[in-house]
């Protein structure tokens, strides 16, 4: 489905499943929403609106590049809510998509039924993922660890042309396991990422995070923050920090899951989210 946003930008959304609507915001940043799949079977009881952000997937680049920044993309969520014809909506964001989801909650709290934030980054909250090093080190006995750890060590000083390959070598850190199914999901990033959308996602210079964080402390809608105990990208502490920014939030830490918990532990992920939404 193609719809027009607040500035007439054309955006693509795929509708999956039946039931109450959940607008789903992918991460990356700049990754097509296809990697969300049906979120571990969540589409069996919810209508998932999988939104390709500006300049990613099937959504073209906007005329104004400034609207690629995540605070501006909150307006796309509101435009989609209106297009879908629902008065209030549940919003689910994954990874970098949680920033768009929080910007939406801050600006449109009256339209928010519930908020689900999956493996969020904590940097807007001043948390620089302090537990990630320990989570990665705990995987040292796995056969892929040596190569992934070496790539991690080389990343900081590597020329830009080498960074993509080094990032690929570190992908096992992002998942709870590294079987064929997981490797296929990880490899899909190679065809789903939009570098231009990634670069445009950051807010403009001088952006004050408090313009989002302060309103979040007044959001009354229930919030679920999902973390994976093996998330070697954003960790678990970031999820707790994000949850503390809301007056009505809870955290679910899924054992054995990584940064993509619906891939690693689909049953546990689906159960945690549905138990929350049903309440």
Q: Which CATH class is domain 2-132+192-278?
A: alpha beta
Average pLDDT over residues 96-121: 98
pLDDT of 157 reads 86
* Mean of pLDDT values over 45-74: 97
pLDDT at 24 over 90: yes
Identify any residues that bridge with 193 across adjacent strands, giving them in sequence order: 31
Helical residues (DSSP H) of 141-209, grouped into ranges: 145-155, 160-169, 180-187, 189-192, 195-200
Q: What is the CA 198 to chain-centroid distance, rounded?
A: 13
pLDDT mean over 156-183: 93
**What does the domain layout of the chain look like in residue ranges?**
2-132+192-278
- The mean-pLDDT minimum among 57-71, 109-123, 155-169 falls in 155-169
What would the pLDDT profile of 248-264 be if each residue is shown by its tens digit? 999 999 999 999 999 99
Q: What is the mean pLDDT of the chain?
A: 97
- Check: CB of residue 24 under 8 Å from CB of residue 53: no
Answer yes or no: is pLDDT of 160 > 90.
no
| 36 secondary structure, DSSP code | G
Split at pLDDT 50, 70, 90, the class of 40 is very high
The reported pLDDT for the residue numbered 161 is: 82
């Amino acid at each position: 489905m193609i719809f027009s946003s607040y500035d007439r930008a054309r955006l693509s959304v795929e509708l999956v499943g039946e039931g109450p609507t959940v607008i789903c915001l992918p991460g990356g940043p700049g990754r097509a929403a296809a990697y969300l799949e049906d979120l571990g079977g969540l589409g069996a009881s919810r209508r998932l609106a999988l939104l390709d952000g500006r300049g990613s997937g099937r959504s073209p680049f906007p005329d104004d590049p400034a609207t690629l920044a995540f605070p501006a993309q909150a307006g796309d969520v509101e435009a989609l809510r209106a297009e879908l014809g629902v008065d209030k909506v549940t919003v689910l964001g994954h990874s970098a998509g949680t920033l768009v989801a929080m910007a939406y909650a801050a600006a449109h709290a009256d339209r928010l039924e519930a908020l689900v934030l999956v493996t969020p980054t904590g940097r807007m909250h001043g948390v620089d993922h302090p537990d990630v090093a320990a989570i990665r080190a705990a995987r040292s006995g796995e056969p892929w660890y040596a190569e992934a750890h070496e790539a991690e060590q080389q990343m900081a000083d590597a020329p830009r042309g080498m960074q993509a390959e080094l990032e690929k070598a570190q992908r096992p850190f992002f998942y709870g396991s590294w079987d064929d199914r997981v490797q296929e999901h990880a490899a899909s990033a190679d065809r789903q990422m939009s570098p231009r959308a990634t670069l445009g996602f950051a807010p403009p210079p001088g952006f004050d995070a408090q313009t989002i964080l302060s309103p979040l402390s007044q959001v009354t809608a229930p919030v679920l923050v999902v973390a994976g105990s093996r998330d070697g990208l954003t960790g678990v502490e970031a999820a707790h920090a994000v949850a503390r920014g809301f007056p009505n939030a809870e955290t679910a830490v899924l054992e054995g899951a990584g940064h993509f918990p619906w891939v690693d532990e689909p049953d546990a992920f689906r159960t945690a989210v549905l138990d929350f939404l049903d309440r």
